[in-house]
A and B are shown apart, each in its own frame.
Chain A
Amino acid sequence: MRRLVFLAPVVVFAGVMVAFALGLGHDPSVLPSTLIGKPVPAFSLPPVRPGDGGLASPQLASGGGPRLLNAFASWCVACRVEHPLLLGLKAQGVPIDGLDWKDKSADAEKYLTQQGDPYQRVGNDESGRAGIDLGVAGVPETFVVDGHGRVRYKQVGPITPDDWTRTIQPLMERLRRE
């Protein structure tokens, strides 16, 4: 019995080694979304801009064409970097909805008043609950949602002009024809 206690460390160690060896094959920097091809999880969020309707998941499906769902927050520096690009997309007529993540709606409203407002609808997810269902790990993150309300693509981090012209825009073109 006493001997078994002394054997325990080497046995535990062997288990850990096996896990490490298996783990070596994976690339940890790829963050796939498990939602690709699946409907946007259900949520209904209160408004950021006083007097409008907030954002609920069924609204994402009703549009016909594909749209963007952009998770952002007023405290997020990278979102400020991305913001001018979103305003530009709005000017081109790309429909964008905003998910204000782990943020106070008053702060977000001030942010949108100061920086400009690219969103058709904005919902406030102060608790981050809807963010968890969507698999938001940080902001900004952007989902491409098709006309049937299914997630087709997820961008982690700010959208760069390159990301837009090379990946997201062609995808949205294709979805529009579908």
Chain B
Amino acid sequence: MTPEIGQLALSLALMLALVQAGALLVGAWRVDPSLMAVGRTAAGLQLAFVALAFVCLAACYVDGDYSVQLVAEHSNRAQPLIYRIGATWGSHEGSMLLWVLILSVYGCAVALFGGSLRETLQARVVGVQGVVGAAFIGFLIFTSNPFVRLWPAPPDGAELNPILQDPGLVFHPPVLYLGYVGLSIAFSFAIAALLEGRVDANWGRWVRPWVLAAWIFLTVGITMGSVWSYYTLGWGGWWFWDPVENASLMPWLLATALLHSCLVLEKRGALVSWTLLLAILTFSMSLVGTFLVRSGVLTSVHAFAIDAQRGVYILGIIAVLTGLALGLYAWRAPALKTGSLFGLVSKEYAITVNNLFLAAATATVFLGTFYPVFAETFNGDKISVGPPYYNLTFAPIFMLLFVVVSFGPMLNWKRDEGAALLRRLRSPALAAAAALVLAILIFGVRHAMAAIGFALGAWLVAGAGVVLARRWRLGEGARADRLRRIRTTPLAVWGLVFAHAGLGVTTLGITAMAGWQANLVTTMIAGQRVVISGKHVTLTGVRTVQGPNYEASQAAFQVDTLAGPRVMVSERRLFPASQTTTTQAAINVGLFGNVYISIGEQSANGGLVVRMWNHPLVDFIWGGAFLMAFGGAVSLADRRLRVAVVRRARRPAASPAPVLP
């Protein structure tokens, strides 16, 4: 019964999404409050039915109903409960259902909490969400139905791809999707603004928290994915420029740009049409990412089952949604009121430059990712581009961007003085110069690039610190005044400081990894000792262990670190149900770097193939990224307060508050 209920719920959700889209968009056009109220109710019901469908699918997995094809293909009885639940979104169909569920949650949230928005604007935003929702629920039902039955039902299921059987899987996709799909709100707001023909500071104030929330999830999701691939794939890297990694990086880059341009729009009313374009493109990048993973245009470690029909459908969705959005933009944006002007030395200008660098970086990633598609289409070549391409294009753009990052917070809005700016930037510049000179003295000119990396890291961290120092004016006034200044630092400022400093920390980690990563492949027998980057590693023994649904060969190593000897256990698991093997690398985490060991097969003469790495400062990369996300969260906490203040102040003048039954 359960799968049929799910199927029915999904069909009803499709109808409701169409009602939501139609009633709200027509209602807003005719300024018909009752029609708009119908649309908002539909948005709530649509969420309820999508949630029901999701719960039904999860229940099928938990019960082990192998008459459902999806369940039979991705789970079996031996699989632990947590991975049976996680398997709900471990397949193409299930993850798409999660995608749609999150979309409905966001749409419903605007319907519920957007009461202080202009009613027609709110209606259009939720209406556009309905259009996107209908498109993707349709995609599920017509090309990827999760509830298809299997007859006769097998007694037990196959298996979830073993590399997905990891705590990382349970959290990585939902968090990432909260980010990807959260960007749909920015898209809907942009379309609504274009339909309304007006954008004001209030629009920026409304969009920014949504973009910020999506950005936080995206940052955390990407970082989790990077950590996960580091320890499960056994390649010992943190970023591979894999097409699907790029698919998450592109919306992140554009969302970062959008976050900053929304700030300009909110505070100064400038960069109006640029911000709208960014909002459209950012969500379009999410859609392109979805297309990339599910259509099979490119090969990737992440690719789901390849199916050209699905590719055609998603391509159709992108063509219609983004195509219409950009067409609307070309038609309506030129008529929008342009914002106030600003000087060459101003915060607006610095943010504009930051936006241009981010957009250029996105373009290089886009080109690199899709070059194989373009090349094959236009001259039949099979070519893919790898790290050397990104080192030549993406890296220089980002290094310039890092230089600009510390300028923005030091500048005043509208107009500022160049000489004063340089004075304020004196201490970050000194920190960078000191880092550069020290690094060259210690490591030599051979590592000049790394020295520049360290200098940029120091520049970013010090640049963030100076924001606080400048605000607190520690040298001035009575002690009580100083304390008050420290205590009253707004959360938004803290957020900025954490985020920019986090970027610096990540830069330090990337630099150390690029300059000093060491790698050793060898065949070892028990008792043998090798040296990597000055550390002694001994293979102490190999044994076979039995897991719940796998069999593993386990190798124990002893590493002599500064803090004494440590035992490290590296595993290679064989999952008999799917005849696949996974590696569980042994990682000895240290403040200054990790020792990483993955094992291969036992060779004929009894030796074990061992691959070892020394990864200096690698944890800084993720630590910095989490610090960025934390900064975002701190800033978001501040925003909520301010939105609430605005809401109270605006209530009396606003149109009657919409009621959601």
A interface residues with partner B (beta carbon < 8 Å): 2-3, 6-7, 9-10, 13-14, 16-17, 19-29, 31-32, 74-75, 77, 80-81, 84, 114-115, 137
Contact = CB atoms under 8 A, between A and B. Distances in A.
Interface stretch (B48-56, B70-78, B323-331, B498-506): B323-331
B326 A20 contact: no
B600 A81 contact: yes
B297 interface: yes
B609 A24 contact: no
Contacts of A137: 384
A22 B604 CA distance: 48
Contacts of B405: none
15 contacts: A2-B334, A9-B281, A9-B326, A10-B326, A10-B327, A19-B378, A21-B315, A22-B377, A24-B295, A24-B312, A26-B377, A29-B299, A77-B521, A114-B523, A115-B603
Contacts of A115: 523, 603
B239 interface: no
A5 B494 CA distance: 38
A2 B330 CA distance: 10
B374 to A, nearest CB: 5
A77 B323 contact: no
B373 A20 contact: yes
Q: For chain B, give the interface size range.
A: 35 or more
Contact of A14 (B323, B333, B382): B323
Contacts of B377: 19, 22-23, 26
Instruction: Report, nearest first, the 5 A-B pairs whose CB atoms are least far apart.
Output: A10-B326, A23-B373, A22-B377, A7-B330, A6-B330
B322 interface: yes
B15 interface: no
Contacts of A81: 600-601
B318 interface: yes
A28 B609 contact: no
Interface string B259-302: 00000000000000100010011000000000100011111000
Contacts of B329: 6, 9-10
B368 to A, nearest CB: 14
B303 to A, nearest CB: 9
Contacts of B374: 19, 23
Given A10-B323, A13-B322, A24-B315, A74 B330 contact: no
A175 B18 CA distance: 64
A38 B329 CA distance: 52
Contact of B298 (A22, A28, A31): A28
Nearest to B234: A77
Nearest to B522: A114
A19 to B, nearest CB: 5
B376 to A, nearest CB: 6
Given A23-B377, A28-B297, A13 B609 contact: no
B40 interface: no
B124 interface: no
B654 interface: no
Contacts of A75: 519, 521
**Dominant SS among interface residues on chain B:** helix
B151 to A, nearest CB: 31
Given A6-B329, A6-B334, A7-B330, A28 B296 contact: yes
A26 B370 CA distance: 13
B337 to A, nearest CB: 14
Contacts of A24: 295-297, 308, 311-312, 315
A76 B117 CA distance: 60
A29 B312 CA distance: 19
B376 A17 contact: no
Contacts of B521: 74-75, 77
Contacts of B382: 31-32
B611 interface: yes
Nearest to B374: A19
Contacts of B333: 6
Contacts of B291: 20
B319 interface: yes
Contact of A10 (B298, B330, B519, B604): B330
A13 B604 contact: no
Nearest to B603: A80
B299 A6 contact: no
Nearest to A8: B330
Interface string B316-359: 00110011001101100110000000000000000000000000
Contacts of B311: 24
Given A9-B280, A13-B326, A31-B382, 12 more contacts: A6-B333, A13-B323, A20-B373, A21-B315, A23-B373, A24-B297, A27-B296, A28-B298, A28-B299, A77-B611, A81-B601, A137-B384
Contacts of B306: 27
Contact of B297 (A10, A13, A23): A23
Contacts of B299: 28-29
Contacts of A6: 273, 329-330, 333-334
A26 B318 CA distance: 20
A20 B297 contact: yes
B372 interface: yes
Contact of A20 (B315, B323, B334): B315
Contacts of B609: 77, 80
B518 to A, nearest CB: 12
Nearest to B309: A24
A75 B519 CA distance: 9
A5 B543 CA distance: 66
Contacts of A19: 370, 373-374, 377-378
A23 B376 contact: yes
A25 B296 CA distance: 9
Contacts of A84: 603-604
A31 B376 CA distance: 12
A24 B292 CA distance: 10
A16 B519 CA distance: 40
Given A17-B323, A19-B374, A75-B521, A3 B297 contact: no
A77 B600 contact: yes
Contacts of A77: 521, 600, 609, 611
A66 B306 CA distance: 37
Nearest to A114: B523
Nearest to A21: B315
A16 B318 CA distance: 11
A116 B519 CA distance: 23
B380 to A, nearest CB: 9
Contacts of B323: 10, 13-14, 17
